[in-house]
């Protein structure tokens, strides 16, 4: 609060945040279960090496400002508001999300969850003592696609060092609607009916309401699009992990109250991995395992799978469907 700055150790945890977004900070430990807010983002993802968190690095950061007076509420205030508004299920779900936050790091809230927390600040919030904003000593390095490209030395090795940076790169590229990378991403979506990026919401990190992450999820009225990312090529060792991820995404997304998924008739699963000639021998295995898992729920929803390879050409990320 002193620096009006929130930090994380990986870029993807904060890549989906934009200037103007409303955020809340939670502080859950044995001594307190508090939320602070409402706050508004003033600076999107940047990297800064100043040590401003005790014994922690958290160099990927955003900046924010108070909306009016900073207020504080306790976890029980949320539950009490749920009782008074007769919306216990919604507020109890929010409490569970906040309690998991020490493991989830950054939770993308849905509109109804954000409105519910705002209402609780209005009804139960007490003023929080003003804080002095301390200036950062070193330069703030804005994190965009170019930054991720340089950090991963993609001009030399053509593959990402981490899946978190691959996730960040894609999310950041989707913010440039006129960019070629955004257009190619939208082409993958348009493979299915009523599935345009312009009419969708983009989420990352735990949107289905459990402590199992989904890399990127694109939601609209007709489709759940899940993008599972692998920084390298396909290997025999990662097939069991892919199968586990497919199973969790297929099942956890079926009746998630966070995204009203029971009203959506189609789930499209996209697996993105590094282009390599060795990938060909794993295609049939992945399709087979996907279809086996889908048979258990085929009466509930249509499910599709698309395999996508990534590579770089002329310093640009290329996503191509595997035929």
The pair of three-digit structure tokens given for residue 36, joined into one six-digit string: 């602070």
CB-based burial of residue 281 (10 Å sphere; 0-12 exposed, 13-18 middle, 19+ buried)? exposed
Q: Could you give the residue range(s) of every CATH 3.10.590 domain in the chain?
A: 5-141
Residue 1 has pLDDT above 90, yes or no: no
Per CATH, domain 5-141 is 3.10.450: no
* 87-133 confidence digits (pLDDT tens): 999 999 999 888 876 656 788 889 999 999 999 999 999 999 877 77
pLDDT (0 to 100) of residue 23: 95
Q: How far apart are CA 4 and CA 64, in angstroms?
A: 6
Lowest mean pLDDT among 138-142, 152-156, 218-222: 138-142
Q: Calculate mean pLDDT across residues 72-90.
A: 95
CB 233 within 8 Å of CB 276: yes
pTM of the entire predicted model: 0.93
CB 82 within 8 Å of CB 171: no
């Amino acid at each position: 609060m002193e620096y009006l700055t929130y930090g994380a150790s990986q870029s993807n945890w904060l890549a989906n945040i934009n200037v103007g977004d409303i955020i809340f900070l939670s502080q859950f430990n044995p001594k307190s279960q508090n939320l602070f807010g409402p706050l508004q983002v003033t600076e999107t993802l940047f990297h800064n090496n100043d040590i401003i968190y005790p014994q922690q690095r958290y160099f990927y950061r955003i900046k924010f400002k108070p909306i009016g007076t900073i207020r504080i509420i306790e976890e029980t205030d949320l539950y009490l508001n749920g009782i008074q508004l007769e919306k216990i299920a919604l507020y109890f779900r929010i409490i569970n999300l906040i309690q998991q936050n020490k493991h989830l790091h950054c939770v993308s809230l849905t509109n109804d969850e954000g409105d519910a927390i705002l209402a609780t600040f209005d009804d139960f919030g007490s003023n929080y003592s003003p804080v002095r904003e301390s200036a950062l000593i070193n330069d703030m390095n804005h994190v965009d696609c170019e930054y991720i490209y340089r950090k991963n030395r993609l001009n030399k090795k053509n593959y990402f060092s981490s899946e978190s940076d691959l996730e960040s790169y894609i999310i950041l590229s989707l913010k440039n609607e006129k960019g070629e990378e955004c257009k190619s991403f939208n082409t993958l979506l348009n493979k299915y009916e009523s599935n345009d990026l312009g009419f969708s919401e983009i989420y990352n990190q735990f949107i289905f309401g459990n402590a199992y992450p989904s890399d990127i999820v694109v939601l609209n009225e007709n489709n759940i699009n899940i993008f599972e990312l692998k920084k390298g090529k396909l290997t025999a060792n990662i097939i069991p992990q892919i199968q586990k991820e497919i199973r969790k995404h297929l099942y956890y997304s079926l009746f998630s109250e966070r995204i009203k998924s029971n009203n959506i008739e189609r789930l499209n699963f996209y697996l993105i991995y590094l282009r390599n000639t060795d990938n060909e021998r794993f295609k049939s295995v992945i399709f087979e395992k996907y279809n086996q898992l889908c048979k258990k729920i085929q009466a509930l929803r249509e499910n599709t799978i698309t395999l996508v390879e990534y590579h770089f050409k002329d310093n640009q990320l290329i996503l191509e469907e595997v035929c």
